[in-house]
Amino acid sequence: MTPEIEPFEQRLGRQPVKPVPAAWRAEILAAARAAQPAAGTARPSPASWLASLFWPYPRAWAGLAAVWGFIFLLHFSLREAPPTLAQTAPAPAPSPEAVAELRQQQKLYAELMDAPGPREADRPRLAAPKPRSQRWDVAAA
């Protein structure tokens, strides 16, 4: 502290504390009650709530927001472009020679495994499925 303030504070500390007059006290409390909003009528605005949340370290919060913004920009800039039509086109059909070679290999494999040769396709069933006449009894369950 500065030397000229110290004697003033020492003198002030030695003085006895006087009580506030009752008329002043009543007037001050009445003004405070009139200025205070009624309970449940006024809610703090979201802006004041956010300000009270971010006030202690505004630079830290601003830096954190900048870092997250940079991360989002980096993420979206490095995304791959959707494939073009030429990249998504189906592969060309195999040549007839390749199909014949594959069938020959399947037959050779079947001979080596002592299994019957591969079937071209299952025959369709001659009889159509019949409707079921069974009923489920819900009450018995």
**Cα four-point dihedral sign 66, 72, 73, 75:** positive
pLDDT band, very low/low/confident/very high, at 44 (cuts 50, 70, 90): low
Alpha carbon distance 66, 57 (integer Å): 14
Token pair of 33 as six digits? 């009650």
How do residues 91-121 score in pLDDT, each as one tens digit?
788 899 999 999 999 988 888 887 665 565 5
User: What mean pLDDT do residues 57-74 have?
Assistant: 91
Name, in order, each residue with C-beta under 8 angstroms of 105's C-beta and a sequence gap of 6 or more: none
